[in-house]
A and B are shown apart, each in its own frame.
Chain A
Amino acid sequence: MIKKFIYLEWKAFSRSASFGANVALKIIIGFLAVYFSLIFVAAGAGAFYVLKKMNLDPLLTINKFLVYYFLFDLAMRLLMQAIPVLNIRPLLTLRIQKKTIVHFSLGKTALSFFNIIHAFFFLPFTIVLLLEGYDILGVIFWHLAIIGLIYINNYLNILLSNIDKLFVIFLGIIAILGGLQYYDLFDITNYTVLFFDGLYAIKGLFLIPVLVLIGLYYVTFNYFKSNLYLDAGLSNKHDIAKTENLTWLNQFGTLGTFLKNDIKLIKRNKRSKMTIMMSILFLFYGFLFFSGGVKSYNSPVMHIFAGIFVSGGFLFTFGQFVPSWDSSYYQLMMTQNIPYKGYITSKWWLIVIATIVSTIIASFYLYFGWQVYLTIVVGAIYNIGVNSHLVLLGGAFTKTPIDLTSTSGAFGDKKAFNVNAMLLTLPKLLLPVGLYWIGFSLGNPNIGLALVALAGVIGFIFRDKVFILIEKRYKIEKYKTISAYKQKS
């Protein structure tokens, strides 16, 4: 039986859409995978020595922060790790025992990327601990306990059945705990460190996570088995729909028609909701640059780079996938009397509104001085004037259908590797940095800012010209786009 399952899994893997991509792409993805594994391995091995250099006890320090590590891990899993239910359906009526199916499905999640990734950090770290003369038995028990905790997260995620809202709650918990700790009000790590350190110091304590894991597996198994019906655990979740007319948008004519649709698109689909999340992440990205936390980032030229990103999160994550957002019903769009201009303008306004809102929220950067906020405002002007056009133009070249209902692919779609789109990213970031650098070399950072803002204003003047260009591109690529969108992954 197991052999048959492995056969199915292999087919599913080797024929998956991401694997069918072209060779160049596979090589790039391969490189990226190796690169990130190496970073993790280096971080695992290097963490010990870095911490030691800082006169901290490496194991103790890691133990102190493990509580955040696991909370964050759980939050990410809730958001991204899918439970393999759909591919179970065809097995139900075949001659296979239910418990075999459940064991297989649960066992399969054990091999998930979300579990394996931790090994890249903890294995090297453990090996270094052993080499550095830590108590062998203690280290091994500690490592076993960590594996146990990782798998506890794995099965907790299944039990909580991917409830998206919990993700926000967990992030909230992390933020609150972090905040309390930062302001010295309450430090949870003082308590949790006792437990995590105990895993090393007290022989036998590691049995607790291991036993909890075994218990949890048993609970998950029973839960899954009793819900192995099409209308129970294997059903698709249906949202309760509410008709929204958004009539206040009617005053904008065709533009309003598209805006209404786009707002619903973003509100009601998992994949597009992620763009909002990403914009928020980008909003805080500037901290790395402006707080002086990372030394090499704290130069004026890097600041304008960050200024572009702070307000550009939505622009980059949403804009570059226009028109793919509408891929699932693109045939409808092409048979309706649709003015392309209204369609593009609607997306453009969305980007502009998001950029302005991000800029206003980003006013907390005033804390670092008005110069910093001015940089962000100038970045926003450039985003609206130049980058908004460039992402829409880049989108016209990209033809990967988007599955609105799944969150996977939100981070680094393979489309990002489209050559035309790649070439267009250069002016998005390098041009403002270059302009700023010129102004800066002339002696005054404000001249640099003025130059970047000027570029934005000039770009804005050419808006209609760019829209005509995009429209032409859409028309040229029409048939190719339709046939590409028909090929669902």
Chain B
Amino acid sequence: MIQVNQLSKTYNGTTVLKIENLEIPKGQSFGLVGNNGAGKTTFFSLLLDLIQPSTGNIINNNIQVNNDEGWKTFTGSFLDESFLIGYLTPEEYFYFVGDLRKQNKADVDALLSKHEEFFNGEILKNKKYLRDLSKGNQKKVGIIATLIGSPEVIVLDEPFANLDPTTVSRLKKIIKELADNPNVTVLVSSHDLQHTVEVCDRIVALNKGEIVKDIQTSKETLQELEAFFAV
């Protein structure tokens, strides 16, 4: 589904990301772990064509992302709060994104009612604009908005950060469900090794912009990763 070729990103002579080759097959749930500054967000930004690669390219479903915008029709993503429109209510935001993905109100409503448990009664009909919601609740809105229109590729940057324990376990359930669908490729990044191991088939660890581990998840994965990051 996603093919990375000779990709690198350099700022003022400092290379922040360098991936020779990486292939993510369709239907895989892919976890990206690493410390601050390892290049996780840079990689996702490149995948979403928000920044330009210094060399190389990324191909998403046969579309080279920095040349053709066709990937937008089947890719859903949430990187941070800058994906939210602060002056809208959550409902308005969902419908806005729905409109852009050619989903009518009923489609969006169906998705929202499916995830009512995830919202925990704190999102819908709350008379608050997105800018006035807490960080965690903003994240909930962003994550669910990603799912509108059943995209085939879902990109979530640090989805577990800022969430309360209950919501984290509910989110894991949602991601696992997505991962079980053979048509959906999920990409998740996180600092939290355990969460990532739980929801992903495959884990790639980045360090200073380079891939240092690439493992299929098994019982020993968590120990292996913990040993690697423990200094």
Contact = CB atoms under 8 A, between A and B. Distances in A.
Interface of A: 236, 238-245, 254, 257, 260-261, 264-265, 268-269, 328-332, 334-338, 404-405, 479, 482-483, 486
A326 to B, nearest CB: 8
Interface in B58-97: 69, 72-73, 75, 77, 79, 82-89, 91-92, 95-97
Contacts of B126: 241
Contacts of A335: 48-50, 72, 75, 77, 83
A170 to B, nearest CB: 26
A486 B48 contact: no
A131 B6 CA distance: 79
Contact of A328 (B69, B73, B75, B86): B86
Contacts of A404: 86-87
Contacts of B51: 479, 482-483
Interface stretch (B127-135, B184-192, B199-207, B219-227): B127-135
A328 B82 contact: yes
Contact of A269 (B87, B97, B127): B87
A296 to B, nearest CB: 44
A202 to B, nearest CB: 53
B94 to A, nearest CB: 10
Nearest to A486: B82
B3 interface: no
B100 interface: yes
B129 A332 contact: no
B176 interface: no
Contacts of A405: 86, 131
A240 B95 contact: no
Nearest to B49: A334
A96 B228 CA distance: 45
Interface in B129-165: 129, 131-132
Nearest to A267: B87
Contacts of A242: 89, 127
Contacts of B91: 243
A334 B50 contact: yes
B101 interface: yes
Contact of A338 (B52, B88, B95, B100): B100
B122 interface: no
Nearest to A238: B132
A243 B95 CA distance: 11
B50 A482 contact: yes
B23 interface: no
Given A328-B82, A331-B79, A479 B87 contact: no
B99 interface: yes
Given A240-B127, A241-B129, A329 B101 contact: no
Contacts of A239: 129, 132
Given A241-B89, A241-B127, A331 B132 contact: no
Nearest to B86: A328
B70 to A, nearest CB: 9
Nearest to A483: B51
Nearest to B90: A243
A336 B128 contact: no
22 contacts: A241-B89, A241-B127, A241-B129, A242-B89, A244-B92, A245-B92, A245-B95, A254-B99, A257-B96, A261-B85, A261-B96, A264-B88, A329-B83, A329-B86, A332-B83, A332-B84, A332-B85, A334-B48, A336-B101, A337-B72, A404-B87, A405-B86
B32 to A, nearest CB: 18
Contacts of B101: 336-337
Given A332-B83, A334-B50, A335-B77, 11 more contacts: A239-B129, A239-B132, A241-B126, A243-B125, A257-B99, A261-B96, A328-B82, A337-B69, A337-B72, A405-B131, A486-B82
Contacts of B85: 261, 328-329, 332
Nearest to B79: A331
A239 B89 CA distance: 11
Contacts of A238: 128-129, 132
Contacts of B99: 254, 257
Nearest to A332: B83
User: Which of B79, B82, B89, B128 counts the most chain A CB atoms within 10 A?
Assistant: B82
Pairs A-B, 7 closest by C-beta atoms: A337-B72, A257-B99, A268-B87, A332-B83, A238-B132, A241-B129, A243-B89
Contacts of B82: 328-332, 486
Nearest to A336: B100
Contacts of A331: 50, 79, 82-83
Interface in B172-187: none
A334 to B, nearest CB: 6
User: Which of B75, B99, B127 counts the most chain A CB atoms within 10 A?
Assistant: B99
User: Which of B75, B101, B126, B132 counts the most chain A CB atoms within 10 A?
Assistant: B132
A244 B95 CA distance: 11
Given A268-B129, A404-B87, A336 B50 contact: no
Interface string B95-116: 1110111000000000000000
User: Which of B48, B50, B73, B89 counts the most chain A CB atoms within 10 A?
Assistant: B50
Nearest to B145: A332
Given A261-B96, A265-B87, A404-B87, A337 B73 contact: yes
B202 to A, nearest CB: 24
Contacts of A328: 82, 85-86
Contacts of B96: 257, 260-261
Contacts of A479: 50-52
Contacts of B88: 261, 264
B159 to A, nearest CB: 16
